[in-house]
Amino acid sequence: MPIIKLNAIDSTNSYLKELCSKNSMEDYTTVVAKFQTKGRGQMGTSWQVEGGKNLTCSVFKHTSSISVEESFSISIVTSLAIIAVLRSFNIPKLYVKWPNDILSEDKKICGILIENVIKNNNLEASIIGIGLNVNQTQFKNLPKASSLKIIKGQLFDLDELVQHILKKLEYYFDRLEKLGYDQLRQDYESLLFRKDKPSSFKDKQQRIFPGFIKGIDRSGNLKVLLEDDILRSYDLKDIELLY
């Protein structure tokens, strides 16, 4: 598991994607940066951190054995791996806020950005970007953000966390291969934030409506039970959970 350590980079995902376009890459090759100038999140959002205090890394994984239709399994594997690591450090009340933000209680401590390499309609590889709030304690204008240090009151070793995450990623990719998508999907669904609880959502027309999160479909879309017992699936760009 080669690990490339950088002081500063625009984005570890962009750096690793450029690297793999020019070189043959070994599984779990990882780029770790102390500081990102253009860290990215879902839907083009930015991710800002204090340099050297948090874990910002990207992991390369060959994924040709996974069908494009089940590519969300990569997000599932990553979410399960990170939660397993955080549990080993006794971080309490862990959930996945769909599609792949990791929360402790109702505070975001980790974001995941998956970028897939697809050629001729086949999934070839994935760049798994992970941003974990570790030793930062101030989050300006981010009232829903937290960190491991805030939660546990202690400093954490970033290198140790990387090693734990890589081992768990390897473990859960192996489980995916042995057990299949549906088993891991059930594990993921059991961790969904606000599952089976009355919740409010906002659609892309800015309309707010009530519903119950019931799980995900095979494409990773969120299944929401609406009024009149209508079960509908929503893509990431179509819905936002309000909490």
Give me the CATH number covering residue 221.
Answer: 2.30.30.100
pLDDT at 39 over 70: no
pLDDT digits (tens, 9 = 90+) for 50-77: 778 999 999 999 999 999 999 999 999 9
On whether both 217 and 129 belong to a single domain, the answer is no
Same domain, 86 and 146: yes
- In this structure, are 216 and 237 located in the same domain? yes
Is pLDDT above 80 for 44?
no
Residue 86's CB is within 10 A of a number of other CB atoms, namely 23
Residue 120 has pLDDT above 70, yes or no: yes
Instruction: Give the phi and the psi of residue 34 in degrees, each rounded to 5.
Output: -70, -30
106 and 59 assigned to the same domain: yes
Q: Are 220 and 42 in contact (CB under 8 A)?
A: no
3-class SS of residue 140: coil
Task: Give the sheet arrangement for strand 208-216, strand by strand.
Answer: 231-234, 222-225, 208-216, 198-203, 239-242
Please tell me whether residues 115 and 234 are part of one structural domain.
Answer: no
| Same domain (yes/no): 149, 100 | yes
pLDDT band at 141 (very low <50, low <70, confident <90, very high): confident
Element (H, E) at 5: strand 3-9
Per DSSP, the three-state class of 124 is: strand
Range of the domain at 116: 3-189
Q: How far apart are CA 40 and CA 5, in angstroms?
A: 19
Q: Are residues 60 and 87 in the same domain?
A: yes
Tally of structural domains, the chain: 2
User: Mean pLDDT across the stretch 161-184?
Assistant: 97
Are 237 and 135 found together in one domain? Answer: no
State the average pLDDT over residues 114-128: 93
Mean pLDDT over residues 130-150, rounded?
A: 94
DSSP state of 154: S
- pLDDT for 36: 78
Does one domain contain both 218 and 143?
no
Average pLDDT, the chain: 93
Domain limit, last residue, from 171, 189, 207: 189
User: What's residue 27's pLDDT?
Assistant: 96
According to the model, what pLDDT value does residue 151 have? Answer: 98
List the alpha helices (DSSP H) in the chain. 12-22, 72-88, 148-152, 158-179, 181-189
Mark whether 220 and 173 lie in a shared domain. no
Final residue before a domain boundary, out of 153, 169, 189:
189
At residue 1 the predicted structure's pLDDT band, cuts being 50, 70 and 90, is: confident
SS3 201: strand
**For 180-200, b where at least 16 C-beta lie within 10 A, e where not — what string?**
ebeebbebbbebbbbbeeebe
Phi/psi of residue 169, nearest 5 degrees: -60, -45
pLDDT of residue 49: 63
Please state the pTM of the whole predicted model: 0.93
pLDDT (average), residues 8-13:
89
Distance CA 167, CA 42 (A): 25
- Taking the C-alpha atoms of residue 14 and residue 229, their distance in angstroms, rounded to an integer, is 43
Residues 168 and 236 in one domain: no
CA dist., res. 75 & res. 79, Å (int): 6
Asked if pLDDT for residue 23 goes beyond 90, the answer is: no
CA 190/CA 70 separation, integer angstroms: 19
Statement to judge: residues 89 and 151 lie in one domain: yes
